[in-house]
């Protein structure tokens, strides 16, 4: 067995590890009759390997979740919701949606904090064949209105904070026939209170115990539209299917099982665990990679109203949390908090994250200071989360890798022509395929044709693959800034800056940040005779875009920005302008 990356290992490993190669583990786990057996089916007319034992659709997954009965499903403060209570509320809301005229293929948008209502709403929509449109709860009112309008949603569900943001944009969303508001406290004209339909979460256990509405669902029926921040233009809605989502259940289990075989241990039966979920549910990471497996396995997920490391440590100790994470920021703040020793965090078994680059130092410190195994992986909104998964000793041994692909996925590194497959170790554009790849972009045929080719998605990421199949991301799509798991596409921020009367040229780039991975920064050239300050331009952006998109630093240059022969700004040449911040972030 080759192990070409062992020299980068950040901790001392058992010299006898690994006991099994990746290929051997894959073969053993996917053997006929095994839990992770595969079969080949046609998906969009293309022969595709899929997990044979994955639930057929999200309705089947909801039915499976009911078998967990009185186990706790979600916890938020003193709200402790069982699986049976969640099922009853989901059924009640699904029937209400049917009564409101929501049918198969209709889009229902919703935007809210991580609340017990979130998964209930999601499954009520998708199990009646409608398409759930979970919107970024951090967006401004105008950004939310764009997603609602673009998706063609006929019904909108929001919490009171999102309603307040959207109040002045109602005229811009004429297609929305009904508004439902959660946790408003008082009646709001022109809306229906969610509590008037299903009650508050603490009362869900008292709802009728009837069966869910039955509708004929195909695994490849459309189920979701998650908006992704691309590198150009407006956000695009990635059109996901039931199969895309349920694939993650077995992909996650497969990766965990592979770690046991690599260690030379038998694969144990899955056991319910308690996790602290701090990444927003409107991300595919939390919804697809997290929620799907939670419901299948009967685990408990704990929500927080907002991230606070002290409160998180209190929860971990009190609830005996086994897993948390989301983005590297979370792990760093737990590790470096001065009060960490005051809390018993010994139940933590894993701290996993994705959505932002992480330093090898973080991998080492998670293992050495918590005794927990680190985990990460690679995926994107267009892949409905997991394509590669990296954890346990493999991650400790290759801390700069994103891991090997799960067995139902394929990766290729291609040349600029998009056709030529490059050899092992060569750097090129990453292409991926498998049952997790979404159908395309909602109502954007040209963008779909450019990105999704014969079952493959071209990612825009530069990467290489080693001899054992481990993926290494070399650089992401050039114009993307990835801040703590949040995608920021530079063109959107640049367009807002260009609207300022003093600016004639600008570029937005990502600069390193120790815990967030990256932050947006801007370089601007002012028109002759004009003036502007960094604070003024930051306030300008903040008034028009979500706070996480505001440049943390702005540099002013006397000349127009450097460009190549095609007129494209040479952004790499600008990173040196922020060397002082880079040094501080290191």
The DSSP result for 457-488, as a single string, is: EEEEEEEEE-TT--EEEEE--TTEEEETTEEE
Task: State residue 495's pLDDT score.
Answer: 80
Give the end of a domain, one of 418, 442, 475. Answer: 475
Q: What is the CATH number of the domain that holds 137?
A: 3.40.50.980
Structure tokens at 194: 């969610």
In a domain, 223, yes or no: no
**Residue 185 shares a structural domain with residue 317:** no
**Residue 28 shares a structural domain with residue 124:** no
- Measured CA to CA, the distance from residue 326 to residue 402 in angstroms comes to 15
In a domain, 107, yes or no: yes
- At residue 107's C-alpha, the angle toward residues 101 and 109, to 5°, is 105
**Residue 254 shares a structural domain with residue 388:** yes
How many Cα atoms are found within 13 Å in the side-chain-facing hemisphere of 322?
8
**Residue 551 shares a structural domain with residue 504:** yes
Closest CA to 163 of 152, 148, 151: 148
**Residue 319 shares a structural domain with residue 462:** yes
**Residue 92 shares a structural domain with residue 190:** yes
Q: What is the CATH number of the domain that holds 267?
A: 3.40.50.12780
**Residue 404 shares a structural domain with residue 421:** yes
Q: What are the CB-based long-range contacts (under 8 Å, 24+) for 340-344?
A: 340/313, 342/313, 343/313, 343/314, 343/316, 343/317, 344/317
**Residue 284 shares a structural domain with residue 365:** yes
- Measured CA to CA, the distance from residue 228 to residue 240 in angstroms comes to 12
Using the 8-state DSSP alphabet, how is residue 210 labeled? Answer: P
In a domain, 222, yes or no: no
In a domain, 176, yes or no: yes
Task: State residue 550's pLDDT score.
Answer: 96
Q: What is the CATH number of the domain that holds 551?
A: 3.30.300.30
> What is the domain range of residue 62?
58-217
- Show Cβ contacts of residue 29 under 8 Å, excluding neighbours closer than 6 positions: 35, 36, 254, 257, 258, 261, 267, 407
In a domain, 229, yes or no: no
Closest CA to 108 of 180, 198, 201: 180
H or E, element range at 222: strand 222-228
In a domain, 225, yes or no: no
Structure tokens at 437: 């790849």
DSSP assignment of 9-65, as one string? Answer: -SS---TT--SS-HHHHHHHHTSTTSTT-EEEEEETTEEEEEETTS-SSHHHHHHHH
H or E, element range at 377: strand 373-380
Omega of the bond leading into 18 within 30 degrees of 0 (cis) = yes
Give the end of a domain, one of 455, 475, 495. Answer: 475
**Residue 426 shares a structural domain with residue 516:** no
**Residue 448 shares a structural domain with residue 515:** no
In a domain, 228, yes or no: no
Using the 8-state DSSP alphabet, how is residue 531 labeled? Answer: -
Per-10-residue mean pLDDT, the chain, length 586: 46 83 98 98 97 98 98 98 98 98 98 98 98 95 96 98 96 96 95 98 97 96 88 80 98 96 95 94 94 98 94 98 86 87 95 71 87 91 94 91 96 95 95 98 96 96 93 73 81 85 88 88 90 96 94 93 66 85 59
Closest CA to 11 of 362, 257, 332: 362
**Residue 367 shares a structural domain with residue 350:** yes
Give the end of a domain, one of 430, 448, 475. Answer: 475
In a domain, 42, yes or no: yes
Q: For residues 436, 442, 443 and 446, what is the CA-based torsion angle, rounded to 10 degrees?
A: -50
**Residue 316 shares a structural domain with residue 343:** yes
Please tell me whether the overall predicted TM-score, pTM, comes out greater than 0.85 for this model: yes
The structural domain count of the chain equals 3
């Amino acid at each position: 067995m080759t192990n070409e990356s062992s020299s980068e290992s950040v901790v001392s490993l058992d010299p006898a590890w690994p006991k099994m190669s990746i290929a051997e583990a894959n073969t053993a786990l996917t053997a006929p009759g095994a839990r992770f057996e595969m079969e080949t089916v046609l998906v969009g007319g293309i022969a595709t390997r899929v997990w044979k034992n994955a639930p057929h659709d999200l309705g089947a997954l909801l039915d499976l979740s009911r078998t967990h009965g009185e186990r706790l499903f979600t916890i938020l403060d003193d709200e402790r919701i069982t699986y049976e209570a969640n099922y009853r509320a989901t059924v009640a809301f699904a029937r209400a949606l049917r009564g409101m005229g929501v049918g198969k293929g209709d889009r229902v948008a919703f935007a809210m904090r991580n609340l017990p209502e979130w998964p209930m709403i999601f499954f009520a929509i998708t199990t009646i064949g409608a398409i759930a449109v979970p919107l970024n709860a951090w967006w401004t009112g105008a950004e939310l209105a764009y997603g609602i309008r673009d998706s063609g949603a006929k019904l909108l569900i929001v919490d009171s904070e999102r309603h307040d943001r959207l109040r002045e944009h109602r005229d811009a969303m004429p297609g929305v026939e009904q508004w439902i508001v959660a946790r408003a406290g008082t009646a709001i004209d022109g809306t229906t209170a969610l509590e008037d339909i299903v009650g508050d979460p603490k009362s869900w256990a008292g709802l009728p115990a009837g069966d869910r509405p039955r509708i004929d669902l195909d695994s490849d029926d459309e189920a979701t539209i998650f908006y992704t921040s691309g590198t150009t233009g407006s956000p695009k809605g990635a059109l996901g299917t039931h199969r895309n989502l349920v694939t993650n259940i077995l992909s996650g289990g497969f990766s965990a099982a592979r770690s046991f075989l690599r260690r030379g241990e038998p694969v144990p039966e899955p056991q319910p665990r308690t996790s602290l979920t701090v990444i927003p549910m409107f991300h595919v990471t939390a919804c697809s990679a997290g929620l799907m497996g939670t419901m299948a396995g009967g685990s408990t997920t704990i929500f927080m109203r907002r991230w606070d490391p002290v409160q998180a440590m209190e929860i971990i100790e009190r609830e005996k949390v086994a897993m948390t994470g989301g983005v590297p920021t979370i792990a760093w703040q737990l590790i470096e908090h001065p009060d960490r020793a005051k809390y018993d965090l010994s139940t933590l078994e894993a701290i996993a994250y994705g959505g932002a680059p992480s330093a090898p130092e973080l991998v080492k410190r998670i293992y050495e200071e918590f005794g927990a195994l680190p985990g990460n992986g690679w995926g994107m909104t267009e892949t409905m989360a997991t394509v590669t998964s990296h954890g346990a000793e493999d991650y400790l041994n290759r801390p700069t890798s994103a891991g090997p692909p799960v067995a139902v996925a394929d990766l290729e590194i291609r040349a600029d022509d998009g056709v030529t497959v490059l050899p092992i170790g060569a750097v090129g554009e990453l292409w991926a395929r498998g049952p997790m790849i979404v159908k395309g972009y909602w109502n954007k045929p040209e963008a779909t044709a450019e990105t999704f080719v014969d079952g493959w998605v071209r990612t825009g990421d530069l990467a290489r693959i080693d001899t054992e199949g481990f993926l290494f991301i070399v650089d992401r799509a050039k114009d993307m800034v990835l801040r703590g798991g949040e995608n920021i596409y530079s063109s959107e921020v640049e367009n807002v800056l260009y609207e300022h009367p003093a600016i004639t040229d600008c570029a937005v780039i990502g600069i390193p940040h120790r815990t967030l991975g990256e932050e947006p920064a801007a370089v601007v050239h002012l028109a002759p005779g004009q003036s502007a300050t960094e604070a003024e331009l930051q306030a300008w952006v903040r008034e028009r875009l979500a706070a996480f998109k505001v440049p943390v630093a702005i540099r002013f240059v006397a000349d127009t920005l450097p460009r190549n022969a095609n007129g494209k700004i040479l952004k790499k040449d600008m990173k040196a302008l922020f060397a002082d911040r880079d040094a501080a972030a290191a």
